[in-house]
């Protein structure tokens, strides 16, 4: 199965060539609006007229991304959960102009991929991150205010709420920079101070402590691995 799968993957470094014959293109760049808008403008110019353009964004407005194209009816959110091989959920996010036909095609494709698609509407954070990120932010505030330590906070949520991973470890896994970006999208989109990122999170991102990908966040990690070494102390 591994060999067969790898034979079906054809890496390219030329976006124009990559989308030239595509029925569907799924963008999965980092949570940076300017970058996504550039990618969608390029895809729109070089993909066939019938191509559906999807984004794996976890928080940025589908409607705003679609406005960068000449085909807003064919732009949709297809938010895979991380890690994609394990997680079943796909948030399918309709932009303001997304047609029923496009939405139905993406719902059907998600099922063919053995995923469980859930249709949601285009508001900041959609459903998953509108609920998840304030929880992570509150866990960081609990640490910041000295309520408890890193491992203690995660243990409470794992054993008390049956979460498979504590919120601070999960933040490290997602990337603290990504968490910060999503919280800022929520804060800007709703204009509500309850979404303001914790100062500790801001400082950690500024210092380059991004979690697993940098080797250090709320925990430290074995280089090149997601294996925990030790929880950091914040006192």
Residues taking part in catalysis? 79
Q: Looking at the chain, which runs of residues are DSSP E strands?
A: 24-27, 52-55, 75-80, 89-94, 116-121, 219-221, 228-231
CA quadruple 219, 220, 222, 226: dihedral sign? positive
Count of alpha carbons within 13 angstroms of residue 133, beta-carbon side: 29
Buried/exposed 154-177: b ≥16 CB within 10 Å, e otherwise:
bebbeeeeeeeebbbbbbbbbbbb
Instruction: List C-alpha distances in Å: 176 to 56, 141, 224.
Output: 18, 14, 17
Alpha-carbon span 103 to 168, nearest angstrom: 34
């Amino acid at each position: 199965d591994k060999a067969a799968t790898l034979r079906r993957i054809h890496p390219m470094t030329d976006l124009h060539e990559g989308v030239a014959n595509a029925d569907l293109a799924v963008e999965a760049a980092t949570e940076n609006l300017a970058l996504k808008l550039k990618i969608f403008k390029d895809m729109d110019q070089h993909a066939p007229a019938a191509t559906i353009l999807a984004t794996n964004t976890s928080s940025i407005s589908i409607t705003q991304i679609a406005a960068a194209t000449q085909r807003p009816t064919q732009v949709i959110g297809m938010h895979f959960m991380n890690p994609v091989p394990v997680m079943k959920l796909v948030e399918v996010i309709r932009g303001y102009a997304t047609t029923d036909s496009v939405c139905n095609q993406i719902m059907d494709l998600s099922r063919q991929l053995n995923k469980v698609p859930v249709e949601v509407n285009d508001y900041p954070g959609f459903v998953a991150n509108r609920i998840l990120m304030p929880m992570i932010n509150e866990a960081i505030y609990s640490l910041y205010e000295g309520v408890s330590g890193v491992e203690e906070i995660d243990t409470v949520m794992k054993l008390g709420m049956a979460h498979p991973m504590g919120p601070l470890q999960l933040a490290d896994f997602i990337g603290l920079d990504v968490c910060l970006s999503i919280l800022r999208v929520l804060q800007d989109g709703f204009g509500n101070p309850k979404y303001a990122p914790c100062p500790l999170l801001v400082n950690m991102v500024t210092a380059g402590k991004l979690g697993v990908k940098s080797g250090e966040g709320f925990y430290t990690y074995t280089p090149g691995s997601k294996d925990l070494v030790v929880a950091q102390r914040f006192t």
